[in-house]
Structures are given as C-alpha cells and as structure tokens.
Amino acid sequence: MKEECGVAGIILPSDRPQSNNVAFKLYYALYALQHRGQESTGIVVHDGISPKSIKGMGLVPDVYTKDSLVRLIGNVGVGHVRYSTTGGSKLENCQPFVLNFKGGTIAIAHNGNLVNAKVLKDELECEGRIFVSDSDTEVIGHLLVKELLRHGSVESIRNVMRKLVGSYSLVIYINGSLYAVRDPFGFKPLCFGEVDGGYAIVSESVALDTLNSTLVRDVRPGEVIVFKGNGLESHQIVTEPHPANCVFEFIYFARPDSVIDGKLVYKVRENIGRELAREYQVEADIVSPVPDSGITSAIGYARESGIKYIEGLMKNRYIGRTFILPGQELRETAVRLKMNAIKDNVKGKRVVLVDDSIVRGTTARRIIDMVRSAGASEIHARVGSPAIVAPCYLGIDMATRQELIASYKTIKEVENLINADSLGYLSIDGLMRALECNKNDMCIGCLTGEYPVEIPGENCRIKQARLDYFNEPKRS
Ligand code: AMP
C-alpha cells in the first residue's frame, strides 16, 4: 500500500497549565497539512497517565469538534493526516498507531513507504504478533515495541532503522517524550520549530507558520531527535547519510509556501517556470496556469518570456483533488467539475498552458479540450516536471507503470493524445537548475526508473549496501 501523509507532534513544558491545549495546536497543524492527506486523520494526546485519541475518516474540520478536542488533555501529542488511494481506505489504517506494552505506551505517525514492509510483517506474524491494519506503520510500531522491551529509546529506534528499507519521516511518542526520525535519505520532509516553550515537529514548515512558531531546522537524514518538555537531544544515527529528497514534493506535493531542506517551494516552482520558458520558447499571446498546481510555474514562465500572464481557467475551490476519486470515469467527471475555462480570456488567443506534471494524461487532455472549446486558437502545453516514466515506491501515490502515459508513449505521442499544438516537458537538468542542486542529492526515481534504495525488480542507482552506515548512537 502506498501512502502520502502529513505528520505532526507537539510537546510543551509539563509545568505550565496552558500546555494542556496540545490537541488544539495539533488540530491547527494538521489543518495546515491537509493537502498531504484528505482520507483520514488522527490525534493522540498523552497526559502522563494514559493516551487519549480521536481518529476518523475525512477532513480535519469534519473529524474534530471543539468539544472532542477539549477532552484531549495533555501536554504532548502526535497527529496525522493520511491520503491513500490504493485500497486500505478504512479506519483501522488511520494513524497515529498507539501500542500499549509492558514498558509503557508508544504512538507513532509515519509519512513514507517501506519497501520491505511485507517481509518484516511476515517475520513478526511468525513470532505471533497480531496486526489490526495493513499499514506499514504498524510494522514499525511492533518492531519498536520489541526493541523497547530490551533497550533504551534511541538505541531501540536505531535498531529499527537498521531493518527498514524505504522512506520514513516519523514522529513517535514514547513514555513522555517525542522523537523525530528521518530515514537516511531524507526522502520525505520533516522539520521542527519552537512553540510556547516547547517544540512542534511537522512535515512542512507551513504548519509551523500556522502555529506562529519559528522554524528551527529540518530533521537531518538519518537523524533522531529526542524532544523533552524543555529541551532536545540530537543523535545522528546514520553518520554518512545520503540525501535523496523526493523531487515530487517540490514539483507538486508540498505547499508552495513551505521551506523544505532550506528551499522555498514557491521559489523552486517559479524557477521551474523560468527554465521551461528558456527551454521551450513559443510565440503566444498569454500564459495561463492550470490552477492551482501550475500557478507559480506559470508566473515564472510569464516573467521569463515576457508573455502576459492571465488566468484562462478557474478552479472550483470546494472540491478536493481529482486523484482521490476511484475509477477513470469518475476521475474525468471530476476534472470537469473541478475546472472551468474563462472564455473571454482565452478566445482567439495563442495560449501557453502551464501545469506541474502529467501523470496519466487524463487531466491535461480534458483541460486542453476545455480551453480549445472556449475558443483558444493554439494551445502550447508546458509541464513543470520531466516525463514521469516510472512508479514511486517511496511515498508518492502516483500510478502503476502501465498507467503512466510517458512510460509507454513518446513525447510526440503524448502531445497528440492530449491534443496540444506543442508539448514541452522540463528537462532533468533544467529541474536541477530550478532546485539549485545536483541530481545525486534528490530522489528522481519516477523520472529515471533508478532508485536510491534496492527495490525488487527495479534498478538501484547506488550500488553499495547502505546498512553499513548505521553506527552506535552518539550525542551531538
Ligand atoms: P493525470 O495526468 O490526469 O494523472 O493528472 C495529473 C495532475 O494530477 C497533475 O497536473 C497534478 O496536478 C495532479 N497530480 C500529480 N501527481 C499527483 C498525486 N500523486 N496525487 C494527486 N494528484 C496528483
């Protein structure tokens, strides 16, 4: 099962009465991270005696009420929003997972996807462990509990990290403290800030902005940070981490106002538009974004090319992402419900239409038909990502290889299929210039079919075994 999620954890000093409102702060943080998952959400709070939780299917404002949050008293807690499209849409999979065991309580929230979850789960089941969900996060929880029965928290987490292959940004509650854990590649984002004398750990910095907290820094790849009510301790568990941040967070997934690993997503997307304009010049009258995901890149394209920026399409703000709807037919209806052309803006115009990505090709085709029916004389599609040719196994729910249009069609064929007058995908080099980084520092598996970790049946771009990098925990 693949998941895209948002995580949050907050710990406040236990000696202040106002610290008991952690549940409300988590609610706001999760609201700010809603774009990372709309299927289900959960908050678990601990008051030093027992955990209390609220979980439900649906959006943050629908799952929590003021009255229910008031009852979640405690100065420390963990929250989660989840977005899964491949089956598993049930309450049992809703996070955070809570496990009560002989040594206390853990609550765990995970963003990412383990490649070896099935193998690990089989092993645990053979030992007699019982699972209530089909989520890989529960596997991490069981592994951790096993370790905690024999070791301290940091050592336990290190031992679990040695077993995990894949992406994981975790926020874990263990007996009064919070732990932030990021895999050795730092695939998925995770950062923290200070809030009301304590700390907030979140998937994206926008959640810190919402809490009026200041971003301290990102959790480093391979790092475990222990947050107590009044301080933190960093343990660089993997001493030679190999950063491979998910490129798709910058292309599409993260909010543009987030800062991830030192990069403002808005800036990256504007650069993407500028690079696209340099790579694919065209005579045109207007540049229009496909809202909302193409807006920032369209602005960059317009600035660089000097072509007038104007909105040719309007989005219905009260509908979620079309991707959520199962089945091709429903997805196509959803595109029409979601988007409408502004006829006066496009009629008789040569339009450069900028979107962030083409996955299956359904959206682009529908939208181009819409803009053409509204009277555009030419439509030049510009895509803010290179062709997506391979699936993601590391936490972005994209599509299977068979569904990815660029995996089996040439660019010319895609151009014909989406009915564009011309089509330009950003090059990988152009994307790296927009990101101001080297492709070895990013995970670009979906663009190349080569992944930073071993995935059965796929190419691995790094040949050495990565588990050598785990050292004894050191304080720093
Ligand atoms: P399609 O080509 O019809 O599959 O849709 C591509 C559009 O969906 C892009 O323009 C994005 O805005 C959006 N999109 C891309 N990847 C995802 C994803 N993993 N989850 C949800 N929406 C996505």
CATH number for the region 264-436 comes to: 3.40.50.2020
Separation of alpha carbons 213 and 193, rounded Å:
6
Long-range own/partner contacts, residues 102-105 (CB < 8 A, 24 or more apart): 102/149, 103/148, 103/149, 103/175, 104/148, 104/174, 104/175, 105/46, 105/50, 105/51, 105/173, 105/174, 105/175
Residue with tokens 């682009």: 364
Q: How far is the CA of 293 from the centre of ligand 1 (A)?
A: 9
- Residue among 467, 473, 466 nearest 237 (CA): 473
Contacts for 392 with CB less than 8 Å, ≥ 6 apart: 2, 248, 398, 445, 446
| CB-facing half-sphere around the CA of 381: CA atoms within 13 A | 32
- Domain edges within the chain: 5-244+470-475, 264-436
Pocket test for ligand 1, best of 3, 252, 389 (most atoms within 8 A of CB): 252
| Alpha carbons 147 and 158: distance in angstroms, whole number | 10
Mutate to test the pocket of ligand 1, among 357, 402, 415, 423 (most ligand atoms within 8 A of CB): 357
The pLDDT value recorded for residue 91 is: 87
**Atom 9, ligand 1: which residue's CA is nearest?**
357
Residue indicated by tokens 């090319």? 305
Tokens in use for 315? 């989005």
Please tell me the residue having the least CA distance from ligand 1 atom 11. Answer: 357
For 445, other C-beta atoms within 10 Å of its C-beta total: 28
Buried (b) or exposed (e) across 318-329, using 16+ Cβ within 10 A?
eeeebbbbeeee
DSSP at 219:
P
Distance 364 CA to ligand 1 centre (A): 10
Structure tokens of 168?
């994981």
Distance 7 CA to ligand 1 centre (A): 22
Of 138, 286, 161, 302, give the one whose Cα is nearest residue 221: 161
Evaluate whether 383 touches 290 at the Cβ level (below 8 Å).
no
In the reported structure, the alpha carbon of residue 69 is separated from the centroid of ligand 1 by a whole-number distance in angstroms of: 34
Distance between CA 103 and CA 170 in Å, rounded? 20
Question: What is the whole-number distance in angstroms between the Cα of residue 322 and the centre of ligand 1?
Answer: 8
Ligand 1 centroid distance, CA of 405 (Å)? 12
pLDDT tens per residue across span 354-389: 999 999 998 899 999 999 999 999 999 999 999 999
- Ligand 1 is surrounded, with C-beta below 6 A, by 252, 293, 321, 323, 355-364, 396-398
The answer to whether the beta carbons of residues 225 and 232 sit under 8 Å apart is yes
**Minimum-distance ligand 1 atom for the alpha carbon of 365:** 3
426 DSSP assignment:
P
Q: What is the pLDDT of residue 410?
A: 96
Contact between residue 108 and residue 95 where contact means Cβ atoms under 8 Å apart: yes
**Cis bond leading into 292, ω under 30°?**
yes
Which region holds residue 166: left if phi is over 0, alpha if psi is between -120 and 50, else beta? left
Report the C-alpha gap between 396 and 262 in whole angstroms: 21
How many angstroms separate the alpha carbon of residue 394 from the centre of ligand 1?
16
- The confidence score (pLDDT) of residue 327 equals 65
Instruction: Say how many Å lie between the CA of residue 186 and the centre of ligand 1.
Output: 23
Ramachandran category for residue 462: left, alpha or beta (phi over 0 → left; psi -120 to 50 → alpha): beta
The atom number, within ligand 1, closest to the CA of 359 reads 2
Query: Quick one: tokens of 5?
Result: 């999620």
Nearest CA to ligand 1 atom 17: 398
Rounded CA gap, 290 and 353, in Å? Answer: 7
Which residue puts its alpha carbon closest to atom 23 of ligand 1? Answer: 323
Ligand 1 atom nearest to 290, measured from its CA = 10
Q: CA dihedral defined by 10, 43, 83, 104, rounded to 10 degrees?
A: 80
Region of 107 please: left (phi>0), alpha (psi -120 to 50) or beta.
beta
Ligand 1 atom with the smallest distance to the CA of 85 is 20
Topology alike, domains 5-244+470-475 and 264-436: no
Ligand 1 atom 10 nearest Cα: 357
Measure Cα distances from 339 to 142, 218, 277 in Å.
44, 36, 25
| Residue segments in the chain with a per-residue pLDDT below the cut of 50 | 1, 86-87, 322, 465, 467, 473-476
Q: How many angstroms separate the CA atoms of 85 and 324, rounded?
A: 6
What gap in Å lies between CA 77 and CA 97, rounded to an integer? Answer: 12
Q: Among the atoms of ligand 1, which is closest to the Cα of residue 335?
A: 3
Other C-beta atoms lying within 10 Å of the C-beta of residue 239: 12
Mutate which of 36, 39, 338, 363 for ligand 1 pocket (most atoms within 8 A of beta carbon): 363
Return the exposure string of 178-191: e unless at least 16 CB atoms fall within 10 Å of the residue's CB, then b.
bbbbbbbbbbbbbb
Tokens, residue 268: 């990256």
Amino acid in the structure at residue 444? I
Name the region of 334 (left: φ>0; alpha: ψ -120 to 50; beta: rest): alpha
Class of domain 5-244+470-475: alpha beta
Active site residues: 5
Q: Which two tokens stand for residue 15?
A: 């000696």
Query: What per-residue confidence (pLDDT) applies to 474?
Result: 47
Of the candidates 310, 314, 307, 265, the one whose C-alpha atom is nearest the C-alpha of residue 291 is 314
